[in-house]
Structure 1
Amino acid sequence: MWRDLRPIGRHPDSGGYRRYAWTAADADCRAWFQEQAESRALTYEVDRNGNQWAWLGDPAAGNAVVTGSHLDSVPDGGAFDGPLGVVSSFAALDELRRRGARFTRPLALVNFGDEEGARFGLACVGSRLTAGHLTVEQAHRLTDGDGITLPRAMEAAGYDPDAIGPDPERLGRIGAFVELHVEQGRALDLSGDRVGIASAIWPHGRWRFDFRGEANHAGTTRLVDRRDPMLPYAETVLAARREARLAGAVATFGKISVEPNGVNAIPSLVRGWLDSRAADQRSLDQVVGGVESAAREYATAHGVDLDVVRESFTPVVEFDHALRDELARLLGLESGRENGRDTGLKVPVLGTGAGHDAGILSGSIPTAMLFVRNPTGVSHSPAEYAAEDDCVAGVLALADVLEGLACT
């Protein structure tokens, strides 16, 4: 499966992946998912929001156990963020069939669409629409960097944008959703564990800072006469680092847009996007409030106007405690055993600063997550990596969980 999936959307220069929603690479990933489903005689379907499903058992029976993740990527992303969860879901099903497991609940494998938000600027579009966290009107207003709207992109890819929207009937069929994901950090590497269980997702959001100045000639305009928005933006980037360090949080300006974007022109507009995450809401508010306050002070000092817009926000997500504890029991958290087999596998419980579809769905259905060790902690980069032995441990852990939840 890795061999078949590896080349899709990979950029020849960076070595990273550009699997953006409703593009040719996305279509190839979707075709791969469908082929995997049909080769295992699973019932394949695409829901109204473009999410792909592969069912074992009757989808209408209810109380289904669902696993999976996403196949899209950030710009020049790594091979494991998202795809590891999808590949592992098929591999775990293969393992359960090898064991001769008898299913007492329907099982579904899922690929959620547009999780990373790389094209339209909003993460988890597929799961947000399904859960009703994103309205149809809001979705129809999403636009990519080339001015193409989400409806137009979906239509070009052969999907009906007028059909999107909340899907409570589908969610009502699901009794539990377990998402396996490569860890986006080094907690497991530092503890020496191969697999972990998620406790919670930090509150996080994205804020757009628009610094508006005055375009002018770079060679003839005196420094004292300039209203250069790049200066307060640069100072704000440093302020974000300072505020995050003081609060024990993280803050990143990772995307910038400049107008008119000429080498010999003073910008008229510098637009930067802040991503900030913290262990609790108070710390996050402290960081974002501090950054905005500093940005307004710098903008005033340079004669520049500033608008700050919150583009997305997800509050702290506490995964379902009962389901989380059941995963711990099934994986032998206390004994270091898996379903009675002495493997020496310890399964620690840890929080994460990364958002996931499981977090979006947690308000509607019981959700949980498994993490697979990432030895470098690097993610959203071509250097993202997980060792084959650790990936296999993740598959076996997921298989044990699915067997405990869905089988006799």
Structure 2
Amino acid sequence: MGTVSLAEIADVGRDRVRGGYSRHLFEPADLELREWFVDRAIRTGLDVETDRNGNLWAWWGEPGPDAVVTGSHLDSVPGGGAFDGPLGVVSALDAVARLKTSGFVPSRPVAVVVFAEEEGSRFGVACLGSRLLTGAIDPDAARRLTDTHGVTLAEAASAAGLDPAHLGPDPEALSRMGVFVELHVEQGRGLVDLGAPVGLASSILAHGRWRITVTGQGNHAGATTMAERRDPVVAAARTIVAVHDAALASPGSRATVGRIAVVPGGTNVIASSATAWLDARAATNASTLALVDDVRRRAEAAVADSGCTVTVVLESWSDLVEFDPALSAGLAGTLGGVPLLASGAGHDAGVLAARVPSAMLFVRNPTGVSHSPEEFAETADCAAGVDALERLLRSLL
């Protein structure tokens, strides 16, 4: 079976423009990674199946209730790092391979899972595979989601060999999960500051995504005087500054605009609309929603004298997640009292936590940088993560 390595997929989905990796659901890089996972899981002696939502499951033992499940995702943000997602999948395969090689006999089924579209980079909804599985998103609304080329999720799923009519809640798959443990590179400096190679998650901040659309009047760049313009790009720029100011006024909150689209997008054209996507996060549900309300008020004030209008529309939402304290305490004890950290990043484990006892294992990131080519984890810390995951699986089995 051998050791599974990130080097096996290091050339898949490299982004020559942004740097790092761009691996988006059902696009060529993602499909190649899915084929790699199936092949690697079979070589590890696991039986692989694809569920109705495109999530991949590799089973050790007959699939059934009370299974111990581990894994993560293989997709990335545009120009993302090598570790976010794939480290959890590779480590899960490695930990299971070690158990099998050692002659360990599990007391219940074991599965390694790859969730589809965790980052939401193609269809705009994070943790889409786990949301569909658990019923946390309406399947009709999910089927209508579109990418930047106008392709719907239903169309992309069909092209990948799935029946889009079957997208949605999967009580059979969910009923098999007795516990879920997701290993992930840390997205922050908590473990660096604590001098620890691994740690466990205590919670995940409440967070969501909103689409901010500023509408003005398209016109000729040379024939329209500055006084006559209703320029949504200028109004959107003021709105983005307002987003920044709103987060600074709310201690502990985070608000980000990382994506902008201008229509029609000509150099010598005053745009007719400008859209910015807001990512907002805070310690509680109420404080996150209060932050967005403040953004909305500031955005309306920012465009008030521009002749433009602004709308702020929710695209996805995740409540504050508190991981099962008894499970986390038990796993921390198994690992000798490792640190417990709050996560500012969302994960499939956070979606599943509402339905299945779930936990997260973090591996130290010496840069603290994630969603970027600078994301990193030392080889020794990755090995410590596999060791820790193997110990946790042994204790759960």
Task: Please classify the TM superposition score into its range, dividing by the shorter chain length.
Answer: over 0.9
Matches within 5 A, 1:277-316: 277-316=281-320
1:196 corresponds in structure 2 to 199
Matches within 5 A, 1:148-187: 148-187=151-190
* Cα distance per residue 1:185-219 (max 9 Å; x no partner): 11111111110100011000011111000111222
RMSD: 1.2
- Paired residue for 2:73, among 70, 73, 88? 70
Matches within 5 A, 1:269-284: 269-284=273-288
1:206 and 1:276 in contact (8 A); partners too: yes
CA distance in 2, matches of 1:163, 1:116: 22
Specify the SS of the correspondent of 1:403. Answer: helix
Give 1:241's aligned amino acid: H
What is the CA distance between 1:149 and its match in structure 2?
0.8
Are residues 1:235 and 2:238 paired? yes
Are residues 1:114 and 2:117 paired? yes
1:353 corresponds in structure 2 to 344
1:66 and 1:109 in contact (8 A); partners too: yes
CA distance in 2, matches of 1:398, 1:100: 17
Give 1:318's aligned amino acid: E
2:94 corresponds in structure 1 to 91
Provide the identity percentage. 51
Give 2:216's aligned amino acid: G
TM-score by length of 1: 0.94
Specify the SS of the correspondent of 1:301. Answer: coil
When structure 1 is superposed on structure 2, of 178-187 and 320-329 the one drifting more is: 320-329
Are residues 1:257 and 2:248 paired? no
CA distance in 2, matches of 1:402, 1:76: 32
* Cα distance per residue 1:221-240 (max 9 Å; x no partner): 22221111112211121121
2:207 and 2:288 in contact (8 A); partners too: yes
2:356 corresponds in structure 1 to 365
1:402 corresponds in structure 2 to 393
CA distance in 1, matches of 2:324, 2:289: 25
Specify the SS of the correspondent of 1:402. Answer: helix
CA distance in 2, matches of 1:297, 1:239: 9
TM-score by length of 2: 0.96
CA distance in 1, matches of 2:45, 2:330: 29
Q: Which sections of structure 2, spanning at least 5 residues, go unmatched?
A: none
CA distance in 1, matches of 2:44, 2:382: 21
Give 2:342's aligned amino acid: G
What is the CA distance between 1:98 and its match in structure 2?
4.1
2:63 and 2:109 in contact (8 A); partners too: yes
1:240 and 1:287 in contact (8 A); partners too: no
Structure 1: which 4+ aligned runs deviate by more than 4 Å? Answer: none
CA distance in 1, matches of 2:7, 2:382: 15
What is the CA distance between 1:402 and its match in structure 2?
0.4
* Cα distance per residue 1:117-154 (max 9 Å; x no partner): 11111111111110001122011101111111111111
2:242 and 2:302 in contact (8 A); partners too: no
Give 2:10's aligned amino acid: R
Q: Which sections of structure 1, spanning at least 5 residues, go unmatched?
A: 334-346
Size of the aligned set, in residue pairs, is: 392
What is the CA distance between 1:99 and its match in structure 2?
3.7
CA distance in 2, matches of 1:317, 1:133: 14
Give 1:327's aligned amino acid: L
- Paired residue for 1:376, among 367, 370, 380? 367
Are residues 1:19 and 2:23 paired? yes
